[in-house]
A and B are shown apart, each in its own frame.
Chain A
Amino acid sequence: MSAMLELKGVTKAYKGKQALRGIDLSVEDGEILALLGPTGAGKSSTLLTSAGLVEPDRGTVHLAGRDVTEAEASSRDVAVVFEGFNLLPVLNVRDNIAFALRSPKYREAEAEIATRVSRTAELLRIGHLLDRDTGTLSGGEKQRVSIARALVRRPKLYLLDEPLSALDLKLREGLRAELRQIHREHGTTMLYATHDYHGAIAIADRIAIINDGRVLQTGRVDDIYARPADAFVGRLIGSPSMAFFEAEISGGGVTVPGWESPLDLARFGVTRAQGPVTLGLWPEDIELGDLGHEGRIYALDNRGYEAAVQIETQAGMFRKVLEGGPVPVQGETIRFRPKQGAGFLFDRITGALVSHQEGR
């Protein structure tokens, strides 16, 4: 596999406000890469730069091996689904979908356009809407039309900016499955920006985590679980996300306030000898029971088949889902302990992973 899209050191500032601080990102040919990050992390700017709609201050953009940093957006052969506004109000649904196929750049014969538009509309189940005005569509229908306009063409790369975030849960899941299906059938390459962890793991082959204008980590979700590169990654991945405890490296161990005994430092593979750190544990690696450290049930969300609890400890709060077993009551004191060998240490200030450094 080769990289379809490759961004190197891309920076962008808007009126002195730094949006991208050196984006390095590579989307392989035929994969869906989810760009996962909170609002304002730089997802849209990354997509717009890839599309050529925003000119980077520094850095390069390669598309299918060609340097397109300076190339016009209309010559890049990418399709974009924007986050908010997508449909041209002066055109009806059919002409919106056919829009690219009538352009000077991607023109097709009218007969071919008709076939492709109806086939794509069929795929997204909007065939009955083709002659409607865009103003009369519901949010879900609008988003389907936007996606149809992107899919009617076979561009090198699809750039999807939160294409489903405005939709309700059921529609979102349905459309996500359809996108995945189309991807499987046609081997499309997609860069899919989202702030939704569930959406990202459901659709993507790989995930790139972006925050504050930088890509913190790119990889398959199991690789990210195995070695989160930054505390922020832990905060974004998982449901619930990573549990964090204030800790301190000293005397060959990791001390956590309120925990009876320090953790053995050797198992973490840390290169530093002392200082404040943050201990990160995936909730799945925390066992609740009669043994271990003390915590208090701060909040409880009983969903019937499972219960999500928020547990307050001296060193920090964390959330965990309990499947089966007795449901605790709010305010109850419980005990918890990390599984053998689990846990990551992060720099308290920068958030960078400081454990698991051996062999690197």
Chain B
Amino acid sequence: MSASNTGSARITRWVLFGLLVLYTIYNLGPILWLVISSLKSRADLFAMPPKLVFTPDFSGYQSVFGIGAAKDSAASIGVFRSLITSVLVSTIGTSVAVMLGTLAGYVCSRFDFRGKGDFMFFVLSTRMLPPVAVLVFYHMMFAQLGLADTRIGLILIAVFINVGLATWIMKGFFDGVPREVEQIAIVNGYSRMYAFRKLVLPMVKGGIAATAGFCFIFSWNEYAFASILTTTKAQTLPVKISTASGATGIEWTQICAAGVVLIVPVLIFFWLIRKHLLMGMTFGVLGRK
């Protein structure tokens, strides 16, 4: 009896294990393929059957990072400039959005004001908005304001798409900080501003990190706005990759290298904020009350 039980349990375990292996291949396969392709020369890339053993060709990465001979070659599709644009837009956009979101989140957590519920909903609704619905109008507005195809314009977009979410997540973290923290400060002769800066902010450090991680990833991956609002000068990396072609046709090696470069910051950020991830995803509701 017990022997057959352990027998069927073992079978179940192996089946589950097999399914997990398949699922892993399904998920990691394309990424592995991408990484391998980014290291192949044009000739190796199109070889049939696909080569598993080949001499690595780093020209793709050289042109992405703007180093070596490859960057000036006729085949270069200018991914380096896009990389710089993406880094600038994502970091500045994230910094501004997190700063605004932190201040707004604190106010929404601690103070009651008329229309607070509507305000909070409006803020969140900016996050639910399908970009495609308003793209045309943004395009016209940006053209009028001279923001079309500029990095400044994209930074504004990055702030816009992130500040709402940042406000909500930070409100959750502030809700987890007992009100007594400020009360203790005030009763003992300090100002609320002191309490906010020196006592409350250090308590939500992790929350700020998590929020920044989310915002960075969202703006790093943002495609819809960037694709419509830029043409040549201010293309971000995702837009560049999707439209890239050089004088000699589609440069797959460069595109694959750029794809790998696109993935790495996301991995790094998730690794850095992994401890705060669950907290951030649940909007801090696990904190207190």
Contact of A104 among B180, B184, B190, B198 (CB under 8 A): B190
A82 lies within 8 A of B191 (CB):
no
Closest to A99 in B: B188
B50 in the interface (beta carbon within 8 A):
no
Considering only residues 78-110 of chain A, those with a C-beta below 8 Å from chain B are 78-80, 82, 84-86, 88-90, 99-100, 103-107
Contact of B187 among A80, A90, A104, A107 (CB under 8 A): A80
Question: Which residues of chain A are near B178, meaning CB under 8 Å?
Answer: 84-85
Question: Which residues of chain A are near B189, meaning CB under 8 Å?
Answer: 74, 100, 103-107
B88 in the interface (beta carbon within 8 A):
no
Interface residue SS majority, chain B: helix
B231 in the interface (beta carbon within 8 A):
no
Question: Which residues of chain A are near B228, meaning CB under 8 Å?
Answer: none
Question: Which residues of chain B are near A263, meaning CB under 8 Å?
Answer: none
Q: Count A-B pairs with CB separation below 8 Å.
A: 60
Question: Which residues of chain A are near B190, meaning CB under 8 Å?
Answer: 74, 103-105
Interface residue SS majority, chain A: loop
A237 in the interface (beta carbon within 8 A):
no
A79 lies within 8 A of B180 (CB):
no
A114 in the interface (beta carbon within 8 A):
no
Question: Which residues of chain A are near B188, meaning CB under 8 Å?
Answer: 74, 79, 99-100, 103, 105-106, 149
**How many B residues have CB within 8 A of the partner chain?**
15
Q: Nearest-CB distance from A344 to chain B (Å)? A: 40
**How many A residues have CB within 8 A of the partner chain?**
26
A121 in the interface (beta carbon within 8 A):
no
Q: Which of B178, B184, B188 has the most CB of A within 10 A?
A: B188
The docked-state distance in angstroms from the alpha carbon of A90 to that of B178 is 13
Q: Nearest-CB distance from B200 to chain A (Å)? A: 9
A226 in the interface (beta carbon within 8 A):
no
With A51-B187, A53-B183, A105-B188 given, can you name 18 additional A-B contacts, CB distance below 8 Å?
A72-B186, A74-B190, A74-B191, A79-B188, A80-B183, A82-B183, A82-B184, A84-B178, A85-B180, A86-B180, A88-B184, A100-B188, A103-B190, A105-B189, A105-B190, A106-B188, A106-B189, A149-B188
